[in-house]
Structure 1
Amino acid sequence: MAPESSGTAARVRLVDIRDTPLDVAEVLDAVGDEAAGGETVFVGRVRDHDGGRDVAALDYSAHPTAMSRLREVCEEVAARHDVRAVAAVHRTGALAIGDIAVVVATSAAHRGQAFDASRDLIDTLKAQVPIWKHQRFTDGVEEWVGTP
């Protein structure tokens, strides 16, 4: 059973969209809680391939509403799961292969709760926050991902 929504905002500890490199330790520190027996973190990196093609680089762009929508997603996930804290940070701008694009983390009394909440957080973020990926492939082809 998920906790009541009255404490949801307090459990959202870090939400940001940045054009500077992301720090995994900062996100993990944000969800630290003495009542948490489990903390999970997901790190999304730029990979060198997609759909069978080699990726050269990519850019992330965020709609002006992306920050408020990211906060809403964090609050929704905190309301759906019995967590102590949630945090999510996404990068924008030009990223190279291996760069960190997104970091999400949750903490909960037990590991299963933290794992479930983190999966929900990254999946919901990817589906609902208007951040778009512009991929450039080594063969010269470009594509936008996540645009309406």
Structure 2
Amino acid sequence: MQFELRIAGPGDLAAIQDIIESAYTPYVSCIGRKPGPLLDDYEALVISCRVTVAEVDHAVQGVLVLIPEEDVMLLDNVAVAPAAQGLGLGRKLIAHAEQCAKVAGYPAIRLYTNEAMTRNIEYYARIGYVETHRAEEKGLKRVFMVKPLT
């Protein structure tokens, strides 16, 4: 299996949208509406070089969106195609996000997820993210987490 991470280009847009759709559509029924990642403008994110893709055997199978903020790096989104789940791509993408944040000089990386995504919350806690608070944003009940990078 050949694995590569790279900044996404316009030619990756269809694959990115397919991965996001397959990763987040199952949550629509438990949340009661589309999760935030289904509403994002991936074309704009790709153009602004905020998206990294994971290729497995030359096919895009994972997506990472990082947004630099004033004091911390935001891990805005990480998603893996159903066919590639279980290969460790999600963990590799998160490790890459954390390394990018360190290299950029951030002391921490943060993320948020919907409170209905309990498996994600448990996973993030296992890998060192700590819940800071819960809040409703854009009509979505979110759990905010942070991980120090020192």
* TM-score bracket, shorter-length normalisation: 0.3 to 0.5
Q: Which has the higher contact order (CA 8 A, sep 6+)?
A: 1
Write 1 or 2 for the structure with the bigger share of helix: 2
TM-score (norm 2): 0.34
